[in-house]
Amino acid sequence: MIDIKFLRENPDIVKENIKNKFQDKKLPLVDEVIELDKKSREVTKKDDDLRAQRNSLSDQIGGLMREGKKDEAEQIKAQVKDINSQLDENEKLESEYAEEIKKRMMLIPNIMDKSVPIGKDDSENVENEKFGDPVVPEYEIPHHADIIAKYDGLDKESAGRTSGEGFYYLTGDIARLHSAMLSYARDFMIDKGFTYCIPPFMIRHDVVDGVMSFEEMDAMMYKIENEDLYLIGTSEHSMIGRFKGQMVKEDQLPITLTSYSPCFRKEGGSHGLEERGLYRVHQFEKEEMIVICKPEDSMDWYEKMWKMTVEFFRSLDVPVRTLECCSGDLADLKVKSCDVEAWSPRQQKYFEVGSCSTLGDAQARRLGIRIKGENGNYLAHTLNNTVVATPRGLIAVLENNYNEDGSLSIPKALQPYMGGKEKILPKE
């Protein structure tokens, strides 16, 4: 949510930003907010005048009573009563205006960074840089579900009976490899100076409203029936929500946290062949990083954060690239975002394994996260980034470490978490 003062003073910039995101249907919201804001401020001014008038009249009442002018005092009391009645009505009106303004402001997208490429959707995202050589071996790389089947590591049929489509059982060495990646990701981030945290896996509606747009919430989140609780789609939600309504001291910044959580997403729609495996599922696990910092430091942290994810995957022998998200692919609260994509030697293309975003002060404004500075208080900036989300991360490791003989080489970084095992061999 942007600053209403900025919108009031720069409506053309806000409208141009909406156009660049190809959301022209939202253009009327800007003029509606300006009109409602004008009416709200007019009512506020009237209330200020009425209160001043009431104070003046109240002062007169005491003097008239002392002078024995009771009738005149009663007349002024009636005027004060009428003013109080007007104030009650106006305060209701102010509340109504505030609610209508907030409704519209929550729908107006955040101002994007000038470096964001303009494009309609993810097909127009822009490749930034590649890291590692995207090798296609001379032997065939099977579908990841078939690779896992060689090690008897996946049971989607049973999961279908217990939970339905989009769920799975991982077993044996594959389950262990999955957990090894998460444990390594945790230690990787701790070594980077981040504080490890396990957050709540459910959050209230007011936190959801603070961390994401309505469209994202409807598309992603599962609501707990008859409870004001939602299952998190990423631990960023509860991690940022932790600071809701808080005043953070300037000398405590930056706050750098890394968190583990299971994640739950609707993932609606048809996804073709990849539905057979683990690429799109309703439940997965993730190691996340979040940063809360001063506004002037947020872009520096953005650059540091996506580079950590690149370093993580390169340490697992997975080639990756970064992809700059274009305007039409940028969620409404985001200022700038890039995806980290892993190389798939089977498909001979890259696929998304993580996303890094800076949201400016949008989440902080919605949640009331402020910094107590030497020269006054101000809103914090928030950032988030995926260290690893798996099983997608697992798919990348499987495909890039699969050997012609059907064995799987375990990256050196993961071997300590696998009891020193260097390879996973096919089951007889």
Instruction: From 109, 163, 128, select the one nearest 303 (Cα to Cα).
Output: 128
- Express each pLDDT in 180-213 by its tens digit: 999 999 999 999 999 999 999 999 999 999 998 7
Residue 314: pLDDT band (50, 70, 90) is very high
Return mean pLDDT, the chain: 92
342 pLDDT higher than 50: yes
Q: What pLDDT does residue 275 have? A: 63
What pLDDT score was predicted for residue 273? 37
**Is 125's pLDDT higher than 50?**
yes
| Residue-level pLDDT at 165 | 87
Judged by DSSP in three states, 203 sits in strand
Lookup: tokens for 156: 């989607």
Whether the pLDDT of residue 64 is over 80: the answer is no
User: Could you report the per-residue pLDDT of 33-58, keeping only the tens digit for each?
Assistant: 999 999 999 888 888 888 887 877 77
Any idea which fold 122-424 has? BirA Bifunctional Protein; domain 2 (3.30.930)
336 — pLDDT class (breaks 50, 70, 90): very high
Strands 195-197 and 255-264, by their bridges, are parallel
Q: What is the pLDDT of residue 271?
A: 46
The predicted-structure confidence for 284-309, as pLDDT tens digits, reads as follows 999 999 999 999 999 999 999 999 99
User: Which DSSP string do the residues of 53-72 spell out, in sequence order?
Assistant: HHHHHHHHHHHHHHTT-HHH
pLDDT tens string 354-371: 999 999 999 999 999 999
- How would you write 269-325 as a 3-class SS string? CCCHHHHHCCCCCCEEEEEEEEEEECHHHHHHHHHHHHHHHHHHHHCCCCCEEEEEC
pLDDT at 270: 43
Find out whether 182 and 390 touch, Cβ atoms under 8 Å: yes
Rounded distance between C-alpha atoms, residue 386 and residue 340, angstroms: 9
CATH number for the domain whose boundaries are 4-105: 1.10.287.40
Question: Over pLDDT 90: what percentage of the chain?
Answer: 80
Is 274 a residue whose pLDDT tops 70? Answer: no
* Domain residue ranges of the chain, discontinuous segments joined by +: 4-105, 122-424
pLDDT value, residue 408: 97
